Structure 1
Amino acid sequence: MRGGVSLRYGVLVLLAVMVLVPFAGIILAALHPPGSQLNGLSIPDQWSWENFTLAWERGNMTALMRSSLLIAAFVVPLSVVLATLAGYGLAILRVWGHRTLSFGFVMGLTLPMELIVVALYFNLREVGLTNSYVGIILAEAALFMPFGVYWMQTHFSSVPEELVEAARIDGARDLVVLARVLVPISWPAITTLSVLYLMWSWNQFMLVLVMMQDPDRRTAPSGLGLFVGEHTTDIPLLAAACLIVIAPIVVVYLLFQRSFVSGITQGAIKG
């Protein structure tokens, strides 16, 4: 028994080291003087913070961060609301054809971005939504929908039917049941889905690269791709730019860590 526990902890420690060592390497690289040549994981002789200022200015991070925040600010609430309504309709209301619709959303999980991004570009171009925030927001919300609907449908399927029936006996309509009964007990699942949506929206690269031709209106990850091409040899500057781009996601995860883990664990136990 003790051997099994020790083995599990050993595996977790090993996985943590595999994740944290490269991350520590990026931090140390960003603190080297600009233009330094690095050989693996090394501690800088002179700590330099100017790489972050240079990366912010040369990478036009103000405009890129603004675009990323603007897109995520619309994508996350829109996607979460639609996924919650769809999951409620499929799991609780059992709308006509709910089995077929559920299967369709599951099949949507198998579609890779590379397969549909070109066709999506031509479709949005026909309605004038390329090179615009609206097009990016609608495209991301649609692409994230299969997982969100599946996630919320699975969660609502685990809710005791007696709870819903009791609310209906008291005269509550469908939307009232959702808003006042199910949503308050579903915050872990909703919070987890929101954090996942924020991560996916923030890290979206290919979609933005194809849909948005204006460099000043691209998001931070897509702008980082161009920044890497321009400063290939300056490793400290690239490391600082990478840390700037991933910092908001790290902060969000740390703020919602308990709710995120609670939602993941709850889904695993109920599943």
Structure 2
Amino acid sequence: MISRAEKTANYVVLLAFAAFALGPILTVLRSALGPADSGGSSGFGNFAEAWKIGHFGTYLRMSVGVSVTVVLISVLLSILAGFAFGTMRFRGSGLLFYLFLLGIMMPSEAIVVPLYFDLRTLGLTDTFWAVALPQIAQSVAFGTFWMRTYFRAAGRELVEAGRLDGASTRRILWQILVPLARPAIVTMTVLVFMWTWNEFLIPLVMVTDENLRTAPLGLAFFQGQYSQGFTLLAAGAVIVATPVVILYLFLQRHFIAGMLDGAVRE
């Protein structure tokens, strides 16, 4: 049984970590809502001015388009690949799965230059797909590993029971396993969306057209070209971070459940 002193110590440590994590966020919010460095607008007027000067409407549309595309395609492919690796046995499955793991371990910095030349040869640089396709590949590598872990732990008995009842493989996957795997899928969705939204290097290298810049890349250019003070930069940073925060707030219960379920299965 945990003593009162241990509980108090745990709360103190948690509060210290919370203050350490929330401190910079509160500083940015306070700066974004404070008086402008130029002496102009203040409060929510800083967000309107940053939105107009920094062209964040264009950048956010690009980020939303890329993130939604990456999430939809990578989640679908990850479910299919994870189901195959987690419930089926076929020749070369082990080697093929290790190739997926290589996609997780390989950092973007190591492949972005040869990838740029490959996409340029295909005529895809400075296009929407030059930003989306590399991130789909990276996300599928992680998603396959994530879903394989779930299906391998929970899927075999259900697959066997479904087959005894005469269910097809497609029905077993989409009507039996996927509904039960909702927390794991939601967790994967949130993680992939967050990583895609925050990706900086791939858009920086792959596109030069201003209309194809993502929100983090646009924020970096906003810092270097338009804003000479910290107030508008803080407002821009809040604008860029808001979609991820909203998504997490809506899905936090399923996200936490998926993380805990994955920890228990491991």
Q: TM-score range by the shorter chain?
A: over 0.9
Secondary structure of the structure 2 residue equivalent to 1:95: coil
2:189 matched residue in structure 1: 194
1:52 matched residue in structure 2: 47
TM, length-normalised to structure 2: 0.94
**Residue 166 of structure 2 corresponds to residue 164 of structure 1:** no
The residue type equivalent to 1:95 in the other structure is F
Q: What is the CA–CA distance in structure 1 between the aligned matches of 2:92 and 2:7, rounded to whole Å?
A: 46
Kindly state the Cα deviation for residue 174 of structure 1 after the two structures are TM-superposed. Answer: 1.6
Q: What is the CA–CA distance in structure 1 between the aligned matches of 2:20 and 2:233, rounded to whole Å?
A: 21
After alignment, is 141-150 or 250-259 more displaced? Answer: 141-150
Q: What is the CA–CA distance in structure 1 between the aligned matches of 2:157 and 2:139, rounded to whole Å?
A: 31
Which residue among 101, 106, 110 is the counterpart of 1:115? Answer: 110
Equivalent positions of 1:1-271 (< 5 A) are 1-2=2-3, 3-35=5-37, 48-159=43-154, 161-231=156-226, 233-271=228-266
Kindly state the Cα deviation for residue 147 of structure 1 after the two structures are TM-superposed. Answer: 1.1
Secondary structure of the structure 1 residue equivalent to 2:154: coil
Change (3 A) 1:96 1:4: farther
CA contact (8 A) 2:130 2:207 kept: no
Kindly state the Cα deviation for residue 48 of structure 1 after the two structures are TM-superposed. Answer: 2.5
Kindly state the Cα deviation for residue 25 of structure 1 after the two structures are TM-superposed. Answer: 0.4
Higher percent of residues as helix? 2
Q: What is the CA–CA distance in structure 2 between the aligned matches of 1:206 and 1:248, rounded to whole Å?
A: 20
* Unpaired stretches in structure 1, ≥5 consecutive residues: 38-45
| Divergent runs of 4+, >4 A | none
1:40 matched residue in structure 2: none
Secondary structure of the structure 2 residue equivalent to 1:48: coil
TM, length-normalised to structure 1: 0.93
Deviations along 1:9-50, whole A, 9 cap, x unmatched? Answer: 22221111111111000010011221169xxxxxxxx95321
After alignment, is 52-61 or 94-103 more displaced? Answer: 94-103
* Unpaired stretches in structure 2, ≥5 consecutive residues: none
The residue type equivalent to 2:241 in the other structure is I
CA contact (8 A) 1:221 1:245 kept: yes
CA contact (8 A) 1:124 1:130 kept: yes
The residue type equivalent to 2:258 in the other structure is G
The residue type equivalent to 1:139 in the other structure is P
Q: What is the CA–CA distance in structure 1 between the aligned matches of 2:182 and 2:207, rounded to whole Å?
A: 34
Kindly state the Cα deviation for residue 65 of structure 1 after the two structures are TM-superposed. Answer: 0.7
Secondary structure of the structure 2 residue equivalent to 1:131: coil
The residue type equivalent to 2:84 in the other structure is G
Q: What is the CA–CA distance in structure 2 between the aligned matches of 1:69 and 1:160, rounded to whole Å?
A: 33
Kindly state the Cα deviation for residue 100 of structure 1 after the two structures are TM-superposed. Answer: 1.5
The residue type equivalent to 2:127 in the other structure is S
Kindly state the Cα deviation for residue 101 of structure 1 after the two structures are TM-superposed. Answer: 1.9
Q: What is the CA–CA distance in structure 2 between the aligned matches of 1:205 and 1:160, rounded to whole Å?
A: 37
Aligned length: 263
Q: What is the CA–CA distance in structure 2 between the aligned matches of 1:158 and 1:128, rounded to whole Å?
A: 43
The residue type equivalent to 2:237 in the other structure is C
